[in-house]
Structure 1
């Protein structure tokens, strides 16, 4: 293979490995926020208030993600996908490693949570440009009706990030509480240094796809992609953003909120919940594979609609199973939630790469994905904690997640698959 025509394995490695590393970085923060950050960085608050403060710090990263998507997406559309993917890896991995070295509130007082927030912002900024670039480096190399399968390469990084982050915390979760609070929680963060080096070695070998290179050769890249995106594609951007809400809403309810709710309210051991979430990621990955193959055969949009519909239905039964206190039933709840996420994840990369033209594609899919992540992922653990604190019931939480999923279902029904490519076929020289 030439440098400009990489093997499928090379594309998979560059898209998947870097994304897995960056989501590992991102998810270990969520796990730490649920398990330990409240007491280490916000010790003057009550238990509930400390958890809320820790989740708020977790949410700060989501606020930075749309900004990162806009800035990194701009340069991704102007300069190229590969260079931005290297940048996102360095930003996210560096911030994660520094979090592992942070002194706590007991050591430096209010400076500790302030530094934690600052590094979380940097981490979120890097992640903001990651997913879009990883999807495009794969889908723009895809031939024919293989875009969903290639687009799913980046999607594997999300459950694998959950899997590896939970494995990392499981390795230290059995430590005595004092040791875990002192140094055990830091180990998963510091491991990021090794992972980033591996990711950089893989991504440095890949080139941008011919599809984007042809745009550069014609000098047809957008001068200001963000301006063009909002001026010419506001409807598609809005619908894609809403369509991106349900996957993180379901996902973060399980992998972040359930850790707090399950241990503090229902009495599950933290190692039990971490193990159940870990096992559910196997189902998640398998579902992504099946959904991606079906999306290439029957269309990404119909498959995504099915996933969104299941996201509307499942939250209430999921909480009902977890509330029994049975680890087996909680495992079933998490496994079905993984199927719900996997259906949408398998179709999302292919669908989103089809609805925006190549000139603004990096910006478009990145912003849409991150806005959806902010609404569905950042807010959900906070709202869930507040709803349970106010009502003492999980039913309002289930209804809230279902309502978010209804927004996604309605939005994806309004998207037109292939519209971005049809526009490019109709216009030799788009408006600059």
Structure 2
């Protein structure tokens, strides 16, 4: 097992020339990893985007902020189970292989999406409707707990070179999901009446998401295992090895995840913020999400290419400083002059920061952990960070605005997490010899 001062992943290109077959395998790995990742994020983003509608249909006994808190509470509870999914599925990936874990995660994920899309509302079955929502979120959270770590290890270990580039597709597909989910949100809110949206319209994106699952399962089941896993010796208890011997790496990784996850969930919160806090139409928050999704999808692979040249930390540190400097003035201008275009500009800037910071993150986290515990280490550190700083963000932001009465509180929360991530990057660079 490596020490804390040892680089633990083959982040630099191999001296041996890369063959066409290696590149074809790496490309297929990108497709296989991206399909499940797209499904996970599409479901998450759609749920957050339609939070106002879901709160009315599944928690009708409450109203206003309280119903929204229940809805985001169910959203947040799914993140409490993510660390459990990370430990179980991450360990499974280190013992049985990346391929086995990837096929299992997408199967569980598809079931969770199906429950959400087909769930009867409270008008049909009463309080049981809320419990179905909770079950859907728990299944989604458990599967998502193993998805990032396993898929990232799968990409890194299949990549013959340019590891940050190949790993960045894990983030680029999140941009595709943000684009599609925001497009659904914009279209459905623009073209359907309130009655149509609440009757059947909100189900359309979830039912669409259900179609991704079987395709992803088929693609993943036909992939080969990664060379690194085949050549490595498995450890008896990857979870114990990770938590018992690499606690510092897990905590550092979780801190580094902070700005990436809060950027995503702040963008997802914007449709709710637009309606509830700024008095803008329901479709207002989606335009920025559409553009931010495209920025992430198109821009992140270029960021990954740059990270292969200069190192992940250099790019992520610059993005963190930009987040700290820009957050307050952006929100101050938006709150003082609420408008669709102002909201869109804020979301696009957040999307650019997210792309610059999130793009190199998979490669950085992969450098923290050796092959024998890579999926466990990636899964636990990533989901610890997402649970603490991202999953409960919509709930925290709703509560902060309600409690303080200040529409500037989201920017302060964003800045606080960005500062924490800056510390994490410093530790990763200084203690663990990461570029």
Q: TM-score, normalised to structure 2's length?
A: 0.91
**Counterpart pick for 2:298 among 269, 277, 286:** 286
**Counterpart pick for 2:37 among 19, 33, 56:** 19
Q: Secondary structure at the match of 1:415?
A: helix
- Give 5+ residue unaligned stretches, structure 1: 422-432
- CA 1:32/1:50 → structure 2, altered by over 3 Å: closer, same or farther? same
Q: Secondary structure at the match of 1:172?
A: helix
Could you tell me which residue of structure 2 aligns to residue 365 of structure 1?
A: 378
Could you tell me which residue of structure 2 aligns to residue 376 of structure 1?
A: 389
Could you tell me which residue of structure 2 aligns to residue 60 of structure 1?
A: 77
**Counterpart pick for 1:110 among 127, 135, 159:** 127
Could you tell me which residue of structure 1 aligns to residue 179 of structure 2?
A: 163
- CA 1:316/1:369 → structure 2, altered by over 3 Å: closer, same or farther? same
Give 1:395 deviation, angstroms.
2.0
Give 1:184 deviation, angstroms.
0.9
- Cα separation, 2, equivalents of 1:202 and 1:321: 46
Deviation sequence 1:215-257 (CA, Å, 0-9, x none): 1xxxx201111101111111111110111111111221121x2
Could you tell me which residue of structure 2 aligns to residue 259 of structure 1?
A: 271
- CA 1:419/1:140 → structure 2, altered by over 3 Å: closer, same or farther? farther
Could you tell me which residue of structure 2 aligns to residue 245 of structure 1?
A: 258
The reply on whether 1:394 has 2:394 as its aligned counterpart is: no
> Bigger shift: 63-72 or 412-421?
412-421
* Contact preservation (8 Å) 2:172, 2:298: no
- Cα separation, 1, equivalents of 2:24 and 2:149: 19
- Cα separation, 2, equivalents of 1:46 and 1:20: 32
Give 1:389 deviation, angstroms.
1.1
Could you tell me which residue of structure 2 aligns to residue 40 of structure 1?
A: 57
The reply on whether 1:94 has 2:106 as its aligned counterpart is: no
Could you tell me which residue of structure 2 aligns to residue 356 of structure 1?
A: 369
Deviation sequence 1:4-49 (CA, Å, 0-9, x none): 884332122112222112211222122222x311111111213011
RMSD in angstroms over aligned alpha carbons? 2.1
- Cα separation, 2, equivalents of 1:320 and 1:253: 16
Q: Write out aligned runs for 1:168-207 (5 A).
A: 168-173=184-189, 174-207=191-224
- Cα separation, 2, equivalents of 1:57 and 1:4: 43
* Contact preservation (8 Å) 2:271, 2:283: no
Deviation sequence 1:161-211 (CA, Å, 0-9, x none): 111122233342221111111111111111122111221232222112111
- Cα separation, 2, equivalents of 1:326 and 1:72: 44
Give 1:419 deviation, angstroms.
4.8
- CA 1:404/1:230 → structure 2, altered by over 3 Å: closer, same or farther? same
- Cα separation, 1, equivalents of 2:107 and 2:280: 36
- Cα separation, 2, equivalents of 1:9 and 1:321: 43
The reply on whether 1:304 has 2:321 as its aligned counterpart is: no
Could you tell me which residue of structure 2 aligns to residue 214 of structure 1?
A: 231
The reply on whether 1:333 has 2:349 as its aligned counterpart is: no
- Cα separation, 1, equivalents of 2:258 and 2:37: 19
- Cα separation, 1, equivalents of 2:101 and 2:305: 28
Q: TM-score, normalised to structure 1's length?
A: 0.91
- Cα separation, 2, equivalents of 1:408 and 1:417: 14
Deviation sequence 1:54-89 (CA, Å, 0-9, x none): 111111111111111110000000010011111111
Could you tell me which residue of structure 1 aligns to residue 14 of structure 2?
A: none
- CA 1:4/1:277 → structure 2, altered by over 3 Å: closer, same or farther? closer
